[in-house]
Each structure stands twice: as structure tokens, then as C-alpha cells.
């Protein structure tokens, strides 16, 4: 593919959101398989920054961070996919942009968080407005159509009951955090991003789009297939990768700066084989494979079939994706998962051969 099919976005605005996500979930991230099983140490500077920063944040603000940046719902992170399309160059302008958005825009994004409503349910601004106008309908919709934990469903319902208060509280959190925490670290964060982007730009110049395709194939089948694909590398997202489809069908990928290093380097050897066996050594993941062997399924369908939350499904699906056991594909601007039986058999046989 030609280079016109992707565009690098180097905005520091992403790090405003992702640093908040890291603050809320740093303990969870440090206890992941990365450290316990792969014996990969997380970036010490980020870990120390998170510990030192949390001490500076009052309890009331911590509670707000927990509400909007919980790993089960990703409410706050849902807004970042619009950043590539905005003509804003600094955080101050972006915060002003948020103030000019309607509360219903926030709520639609928050509702779509994770896997969102089932594939048969169309969610647009009119639908969200109708739910805001009818508390009983909103409660029924959130409880029946969304696979959040009870706590996150309750948070989302409060947003539907008081959307303007939600919008103001969220923006207030971002403004407070930017003024009192993030701005003092802005220079070294910008330096980190510049170095990260320079390194990846060098690899792109050397290897072309094939380099990006190899990275993104861990997440989705046939990456960079959109008319336009926006790519951003992140410091605070470190070992993770995020994918979103924009309203016009374009694709957005946010890649933690260590994701390629960790997940692209160990496929051929013994470590790669062990990772496949670990991925298969779980009843839930085996159930997912069994379901996908019958048909391609949307994430929310898997959650409903297995009676699990979207966050739990996301966790297990990620492990299967990372090991090329399943693939993801886009249809109608949504992400579906499929099992390529031949690729699955090949991956398992390769793992066995590597082991013995």
C-alpha cells in the first residue's frame, strides 16, 4: 500500500487522557501477564511518575478519575478517536473545543465505549436524546443492552439523568488535572513523544507500510484497509494498542510505544510457543474459540452468550488476538471477531514444533 493510506498524528493531547488512564489503572497494568509471566518490566519512569503523581491528587479528584477512566468502561478514552480530525494544536484549544460540544455528544461516545450496544441496535444522537428524555427507557437500555459491571452501568445512568452536569464535571476534571499536574510535566512528555515518533518514523522510512501492517495485524485482520488511517504512538499507553473506527469509516490506531517491541519479537521462539499455550489454557477463551468456530461474532454477542461483561470479553479476546488465534475484521464500522480454522491449526502446530 502507498504511504498516502496512513497519517501519523503526534498530538500531545492523547497523553492528557492516557496519563489519566494510567494513573487509574497502573496497579492493574503492573499485575498483568506482562510482568508475572513474560517477566517484562514496565517503564520505570512511568511507574515512578504514577506513584508520585497520585500523592498530589486529592481524594475527590481520584474519585472522578476512577469514574471516567475505569478500565471496565473506558468512558474518557472514547473521545480521543476524534482528535485526528480536529484542527487543534494544543491542549488549551482542545479543552475549549470540549466546552463547545453538546452533552449528548459525550454521552453517545460513552455509551459506545467498549463493545457498545448489540449489532442490531443503532445508536445515534437521536437515540441518545430520546433516552435522555425518558429515564425509564434509559435505565432499560443500559441494563439490557450494555455489558458493563453494575457499578459502571450506574455511572452511565447518572450521566443520562444529568448530562449537562456530567459534561461539566468531566471538563472540570480535565482542566484541573492539566493546570495542576500535567502542565508541569508537559516538556518532558513532549520530549518523550518526539523521540518515540522519530524512532518509528525511521522504521517507517526504512520498511514502509509493511512495518505498520505487521504491528497492527496483532489487532485486526487486513489493517490499513481504510481510505485513510490515522496512527498515533503513545508514551503512557506503553504496552497496549487501541483501535477505533471514525464516523466516516476511517480508522484510528493508537499504539503504545513498547507494543511492537513486546509482542512482535517473540513469535518464532520458545516464548512465543508458551504464550499460545497460556492463551489456550483458559475455559473462557476456549469457549470463545468454540463460538467463533461456528460463526463470526460481534464482541457484545460474545459477552451475551457467555454472560460476561464487555471488559472481561475484551481481556480474553485481546489475548487470543495477540497470539494470532483469532482475527478481527471491520463490518459496518464495527469490530467483529472470527476464527480462521486453518490459521489456528497452523499456529498451534507451529507452537508444538517450536517447543519440541
- 121-134 pLDDT per residue, tens: 678 899 999 999 99
What's the pLDDT score for residue 33?
52
Q: What is d(CA 204, CA 199) in angstroms, rounded to the nearest whole number?
A: 9
Average pLDDT per block of 10 residues along the chain, 356 residues long: 70 96 77 53 90 95 94 88 89 96 95 61 87 95 85 93 97 98 96 94 84 78 80 93 80 90 56 73 92 89 86 82 78 76 82 75
Contacts (Cβ under 8 Å, ≥6 apart) of 314: 114, 115, 299
What's the pLDDT score for residue 290?
93
Residues forming a β-bridge with 251? 229, 245
C-alpha cell at 93: 484549544
3-state secondary structure at position 338: strand
The class of domain 266-355 in CATH terms is mainly alpha
Contacts (Cβ under 8 Å, ≥6 apart) of 147: 114, 115, 300, 303, 304, 308, 309, 310, 313
Fill in the DSSP letter of residue 251: E
What's the pLDDT score for residue 135?
94
Nearest to 147 by CA among 73, 85, 75: 73
What's the pLDDT score for residue 2?
42
What tens digit of pLDDT does each residue of 284-301 get?
Answer: 999 999 999 999 988 888
Q: What is d(CA 231, CA 116) in angstroms, rounded to the nearest whole number?
A: 23
Backbone φ and ψ of 122, nearest 5°: -85, 130
CA-CA-CA-CA torsion sign (132, 16, 21, 326): positive
What's the pLDDT score for residue 98?
97
What's the pLDDT score for residue 22?
94
Contacts (Cβ under 8 Å, ≥6 apart) of 135: 160, 161
Q: What is d(CA 10, CA 191) in angstroms, rounded to the nearest whole number?
A: 12
Phi-psi region of 277 (alpha: psi -120 to 50; beta: other; left: phi over 0): alpha
Rounded percentage of the chain residues whose pLDDT exceeds 70 = 87
C-alpha cell at 348: 498451534
Between the two ends of the chain, the Cα-to-Cα distance in Å is: 38
Amino acid at each position: 500500500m502507498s504511504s498516502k493510506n496512513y497519517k501519523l498524528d503526534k498530538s500531545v493531547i492523547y497523553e492528557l487522557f492516557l496519563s489519566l488512564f494510567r494513573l487509574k489503572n497502573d496497579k492493574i497494568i503492573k499485575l498483568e501477564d506482562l510482568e508475572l509471566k513474560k517477566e517484562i518490566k514496565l517503564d520505570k519512569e512511568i511507574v515512578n511518575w504514577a506513584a508520585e503523581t497520585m500523592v498530589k491528587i486529592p481524594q475527590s479528584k481520584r474519585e472522578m478519575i476512577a469514574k471516567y477512566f475505569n478500565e471496565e468502561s473506558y468512558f474518557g478514552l472514547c473521545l480521543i478517536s476524534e482528535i485526528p480530525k480536529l484542527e487543534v494544536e494544543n491542549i488549551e484549544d482542545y479543552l475549549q473545543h470540549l466546552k463547545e460540544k453538546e452533552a449528548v455528544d459525550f454521552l453517545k461516545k460513552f455509551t459506545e465505549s467498549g463493545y457498545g450496544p448489540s449489532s442490531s441496535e443503532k445508536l445515534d444522537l437521536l437515540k441518545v436524546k430520546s433516552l435522555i428524555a425518558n429515564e425509564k427507557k434509559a435505565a432499560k437500555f443500559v441494563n439490557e443492552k450494555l455489558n458493563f459491571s453494575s457499578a459502571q452501568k450506574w455511572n452511565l445512568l447518572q450521566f443520562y439523568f444529568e448530562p449537562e452536569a456530567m459534561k461539566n464535571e468531566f471538563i472540570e476534571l480535565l482542566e484541573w488535572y492539566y493546570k495542576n499536574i500535567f502542565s508541569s510535566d508537559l516538556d518532558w512528555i513532549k520530549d518523550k513523544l518526539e523521540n518515540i515518533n522519530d524512532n518509528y518514523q525511521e522504521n517507517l522510512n526504512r520498511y514502509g507500510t509493511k512495518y505498520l501492517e505487521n504491528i497492527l495485524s496483532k489487532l485486526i485482520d487486513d489493517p490499513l484497509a481504510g481510505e485513510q488511517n490515522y496512527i498515533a504512538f503513545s508514551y503512557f499507553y506503553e504496552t497496549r494498542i487501541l483501535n477505533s473506527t471514525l464516523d466516516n469509516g476511517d480508522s484510528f490506531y493508537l499504539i503504545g510505544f513498547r507494543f511492537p517491541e513486546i509482542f512482535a519479537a517473540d513469535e518464532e521462539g520458545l516464548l512465543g510457543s508458551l504464550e499460545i499455550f497460556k492463551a489456550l489454557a483458559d475455559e473462557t477463551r476456549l469457549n470463545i474459540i468454540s463460538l467463533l468456530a461456528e460463526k463470526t461474532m460481534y464482541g457484545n454477542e460474545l459477552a451475551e452468550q457467555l454472560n460476561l461483561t464487555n471488559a472481561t470479553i475484551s481481556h480474553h479476546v485481546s489475548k487470543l488476538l495477540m497470539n494470532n488465534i483469532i482475527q478481527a475484521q471491520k463490518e459496518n464500522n464495527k469490530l467483529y471477531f472470527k476464527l480462521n480454522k486453518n490459521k489456528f491449526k497452523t499456529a498451534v502446530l507451529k507452537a508444538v514444533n517450536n517447543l519440541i
